[in-house]
Structure 1
């Protein structure tokens, strides 16, 4: 086993130094990428919003299946990131490179399979939502088929992001993302309006930009030690695949069930008209200010904890989680203040229909109450992943997220109407944030401290 550190001189050392400084330096490029992605999503939504609420509803419905694909991606991303971090923490470079190869091979297999299945079954997938207007159905089917062509690029890029982050090289992701999103900013209005392709144009711009980002990653990592001589096209090591899948399966199932639950809720929402789906689409994009930032920080925390846990630095692992929670607390309160205090000014940037705006204001205010707790949920899930304990976290999240369906069904039949769905989402997020944080504190006390005493 190679015991010398595999980290390059440009890599950030996660095992030493001030914790807040280390976490921040690692997380800032990822969070910047997330904020840039959020900015693109908001601009994209604003452009599509000019086409009318039907186009927004169509893209929103298609987005549910993109979200489901995010769950499939976790099969390779979580296990690859955690095992790579633990191998690097132990100084085992050969095992680390084996993990990288397996994670990328598995990602390619998953993405191509999902693309084919989604393309074939697109009409049935869109029919699930019971849209009432033919224009919405047609746009949703076209958008979903086109955007699926970019899954290979987007899936592989996100796994690359996780892997280079573990190696302390998160700036690579930021630069590649900036290039892709700047390109998307330019292509979106051209494809949507200048070429007259509408919602389909947004999908084409997205896929082209994703391909460019993928190429940027290949170029940026061509001389990186971890990515040299990977022999991706060789016969897969299925034992390594199984290891990665075993760790990635719980959070993957969590996200896939999470998105499936969201689809059921969306079907409830369509009872109040196609415009109600457009409210959810726009509202969730605005709300992403907190959850995309928190997820970006979570990727950094998973890498930090995985390396320190693998190196046996239990105290530093615990301190890293505590300080990450402090940072996310600040983010959650800022987002809550914005969503509750300025909902009308924010929502009408995207949709100006006076019949839709009041519903958007209600969405933002209700979901704004849960932002702090949602940030805690995301950061705690990242900490559980870092120590390789994803099953319990995923079980809790799935149960509480699933509770949204009966709660929403009950509430929409009260005077709350469609706002009952928003309340079900917000209340479950509050519960998840509290319960997961308490569980991780119990876990770190019983397990990490006990291992420290053994040494």
Structure 2
């Protein structure tokens, strides 16, 4: 049996239930946004070129994060439906499929970034020294994509179970570690942009490890579901039908930002790119707020719809 009690979303005051779900989800979104923003804030002390280099990769990570919502949204809705019907076994199968799919998708994306970095960085037509810094940073953080995608799927699984406060606490610890490592590696060891990337990779690996520990040892959520299964057509097909439209919409915003980035790069060089990407990080505060409520509402409706 699970050692953590699943939250019932079919009883009690609706407003309180949605707020209790939404506020930690909003906090988790802010934390995930703050990784790149923290790197850019520290690297700003090195100059605008470093900010532009990290900002370019931050947009690629935004695109990656958008793709990861396939399994985040898929987890929240499918597990919400399963638990609303009272079927823990079905919820466990969907949890396993979402994690397996997230690891597969992230591995393919990481390989693309590692083997064809110029295909993505070349969009901005940056100066050679800025592109060189961006390339170093991209290669480092790309190695952490499987950790990030899996952690996102884990967050969706907890959200689907009505336990959104746990992903917030886990991700907040990862951000704290990143904030400690950034100045140590960037300035203390003099690693510059590479140091920022290593700090982010280390923090993301820590978050992944902490999630695994909580799922397997501490919370034993859904009776310790398997992380690796062979996806079948029924479960994976339903996850894709639910999660792909959300991922496509979010990805569209990232692609538009990349198009704007090319335009400002042509007109203002790396200064224009640094300005656009920094502004984009601040703009994310507003849509992270609305997304927190939409995610909570999706989970709440999934439970109650399935429970009739």
Q: Note the 1:63-74 alignment, pairs <5 A.
A: 63-74=58-69
1:299 matched to which residue of 2? 295
Among candidates 38, 43, 48, match of residue 43 of structure 1: 38
* SS in structure 1 at match of 2:216: coil
Change (3 A) 1:229 1:184: closer
Q: CA deviation at 1:264?
A: 1.3
Among candidates 98, 111, 130, match of residue 116 of structure 1: 111
Q: Contact 1:49–1:56 (CA<8 Å) still a contact in 2?
A: yes
| Matching of residue 161 in structure 1 with residue 155 in structure 2 | yes
Q: CA deviation at 1:37?
A: 4.1
> Matches of 2:156 and 2:75 in 1, distance apart?
8
> Matches of 1:42 and 1:229 in 2, distance apart?
34
> Matches of 1:64 and 1:40 in 2, distance apart?
12
> Matches of 2:30 and 2:180 in 1, distance apart?
18
> Matches of 2:117 and 2:18 in 1, distance apart?
41
| Matching of residue 215 in structure 1 with residue 204 in structure 2 | no
Change (3 A) 1:67 1:119: same
* SS in structure 2 at match of 1:168: coil
Q: CA deviation at 1:41?
A: 4.4
> Matches of 2:34 and 2:232 in 1, distance apart?
39
Change (3 A) 1:37 1:244: closer
Q: CA deviation at 1:154?
A: 0.8
2:238 matched to which residue of 1? 243
1:53 matched to which residue of 2? 48
Among candidates 270, 281, 298, match of residue 277 of structure 2: 281
Among candidates 123, 138, 141, match of residue 144 of structure 1: 138
* SS in structure 1 at match of 2:173: helix
1:206 matched to which residue of 2? 200
| Matching of residue 269 in structure 1 with residue 264 in structure 2 | yes
Q: Which moved more, 1:283-292 or 1:211-220?
A: 283-292
> Matches of 2:64 and 2:33 in 1, distance apart?
18
Deviations 1:91-111 (A, max 9, x none): 122211111111111011011
> Matches of 2:120 and 2:34 in 1, distance apart?
28
TM-score, length-scaled by structure 2: 0.92
> Matches of 1:34 and 1:231 in 2, distance apart?
26
Deviations 1:266-302 (A, max 9, x none): 1111122221111112112222322223323332222
> Matches of 1:43 and 1:98 in 2, distance apart?
37
Q: Note the 1:54-133 alignment, pairs <5 A.
A: 54-131=49-126, 133=127
Deviations 1:46-96 (A, max 9, x none): 211111111111111112221221232122222222111111111122211
1:453 matched to which residue of 2? none
Aligned residues: 306
Among candidates 177, 180, 198, match of residue 183 of structure 1: 177
Deviations 1:237-286 (A, max 9, x none): 23211121122222222223332222111111112222111111211222
1:27 matched to which residue of 2? 22
Change (3 A) 1:291 1:78: same
Structure having greater relative contact order (Cα 8 Å, sep ≥ 6): 2
Change (3 A) 1:306 1:111: same
> Matches of 1:234 and 1:288 in 2, distance apart?
34
Q: Contact 1:64–1:259 (CA<8 Å) still a contact in 2?
A: yes
1:228 matched to which residue of 2? 223
Q: Contact 1:118–1:148 (CA<8 Å) still a contact in 2?
A: yes
Change (3 A) 1:212 1:272: same
* SS in structure 1 at match of 2:190: coil
* SS in structure 1 at match of 2:8: coil
Q: Contact 2:214–2:220 (CA<8 Å) still a contact in 1?
A: no
